[in-house]
Amino acid sequence: MSVLFVVGIVVFFLGLLASIALHELGHMSFAKLFGVRVPQFMVGFGPTLWSRRKGETEYGVKWIPLGGYIRMIGMLPPRRGDAPGTVRQVSTGPWQGLIESARGAALEEVGPGDEDRVFYRKKWWQKVIIMFAGPFMNILLAFLFISVVVMGIGVSTVQPVIASVSKCTIPVAQAGRDCRPGDPETPAVRAGLRAGDRFVSYEGRRIHSYAELQKLIRGSGGRTVPVVVRRGGQDVALSVPVVTNQMPSLTDPDKTETVGFLGISPTSARERQGPGVVLGTMGDLTTHTFGSLINMPKKMVGVWNAAFGHQKRDPNGPIGVVGASRIGGEIAASKEPGLDKLAFFLMMLGTVNFAVGMFNLVPLLPLDGGHIAGALWEAVKKGIARLARRPDPGHVDVAKALPLTYVMAAVIITMGALLIYADLVNPVRLNG
């Protein structure tokens, strides 16, 4: 285990902890802005490692650095008809008992003068903003990290510039072997193409990207095609006798198809892109994340099979804090140039932050999205009551959803434990 590998793990892990702290800071900032009392701001869970009180809030770090939280008073409202701060005796029934115990614990820390500083009494739109501010911080961090990479460092793009020319045409079934006597020369060799040539036009069409050139080559098998390349600052006109070959499909790499073949490898280079590419990347990330959330149960089955069987981890499947930090170590220890390492590192942090933000918006308690859904439902009920000229229905009692909340919390804890175990025994690796 190299020093760079350990440094990469530590730096990436600290980046995740900073993201957690900023998530909670988003919640706390708006909670305090709207007058909610916040007794605690903590990064981590379990026993307190360090803390310091400033004003009415205790700031600290816990021993188990797998998340964070802020504690706002009055997250659960009293039962209808109870005076603010009143704690009733526990009702009969297992679920009702749990609900009233949680309600009582939430109300016991509401002191004199706190009646207007409890979360449940805030306007519905204030509650939405408070709970949305945490995931928004993660999404904002993702946007910033991706913007730095795309617009500042640049993204690696394939250029219509020849990096190397293959000497002979080899059937796809024998790909990887050296040229043998009797193997035909590639069209690129026969036409006199060289490494460093940049395609200006192909069969009379101007070339702006390698993807455009690749499609034209694949569609011109069996024809002699005029091309113009820029070589040493001058345009050189050539005729290329394009042949056909079995090549992997562009839409399904597991399949092959008969297409035009030239025998060249393109050059990759970093290019800074504009805001449009950032927005496109965020859009693609949103689509991918939604798909991952919908397929989460199926993906977790794959994680289970990889953890307790011999199945390979899906590189596009769920990954925990341990696994993500390990990949950070692999990035740092790789032989890639420093700028490539930094770009990959920031993209990883951006992707993880975006996934965390979107996951927290799932409309189920104890996630932030569950509180947002409760506040929106409160707005709907109040709106209907106003239109029907009925009395104000009051606050939505999210405590009634606690049985589902406990189940959801157990599922999240189980998923987290499974991911940590899988990341230790069968981690996702950059090199497969």
Closest listed residue to residue 212, CA positions, set 256, 281, 278, 158:
158
Q: Which two tokens stand for residue 328?
A: 């950070």
Taking the chain, what is the end-to-end CA distance rounded to the nearest angstrom? Answer: 18
Q: Which two tokens stand for residue 297?
A: 């149960």
Catalytic residue (one of 24, 100, 330, 378): 24
**41, 70 in Cβ contact below 8 A?**
yes
The Cα 229–Cα 199 span in angstroms is 4
SS (H, E, C) 370-400: HHHHHHHHHHHHHHHHHHCCCCCCCCCCHHH
DSSP bridge partners of 339:
none
Return the amino acid letter for 407: V
User: Is position 58 annotated as part of the catalytic site?
Assistant: no
Q: Which two tokens stand for residue 319?
A: 């990954």
The Cα 354–Cα 352 span in angstroms is 5
Q: Which two tokens stand for residue 130?
A: 């408070």
Q: What burial class does residue 329 get, using C-beta atoms within 10 Å of its C-beta: 0-12 exposed, 13-18 middle, 19+ buried?
A: buried
Active site residues: 24
